Structure 1
Amino acid sequence: MRVVADRDTCEGLGMCEAMSELFEVGDDGSVVVHDEQPPEAARADVQAAVDACPVLALRLEG
């Protein structure tokens, strides 16, 4: 599994950050992904964060 973040689309709303510690809104107001290849055990939390993004700036591959 790989997390892909489109920083140009991100509006820094923080929904992903609220759903998973893997994500943070950086000082520039855009998403920071702390681990682009998180363990499979984190899939449910990561998927919840991806699904929570109102501007579809996040996606999972694999």
Structure 2
Amino acid sequence: MSDESRLQLNVRVSKETILQLDAIVEYYQENTKVGRIYKGDVLSDIIDKSYQIMLKQKAMNRR
């Protein structure tokens, strides 16, 4: 992904949330073979997966 398609997001989160994110990043780093893993990539992955789940739930509710 090129830098032109990326935006910076500045947010305030609790210390506990940062520690949880660090643990998730470490887990991704240990269990993937793609090289260096960044917090932004992990957050993007989590958001994308959550979004897909939301879309499926919305589709189920419309039936």
Q: TM-score range by the shorter chain?
A: under 0.3
The two structures have a TM-score, normalised by structure 2, of: 0.25
Larger radius of gyration: 2
Q: Of Structure 1 and Structure 2, which has the larger fraction of its residues in helix?
A: 2
Q: Of Structure 1 and Structure 2, which has the larger fraction of its residues in strand?
A: 1
The two structures have a TM-score, normalised by structure 1, of: 0.25
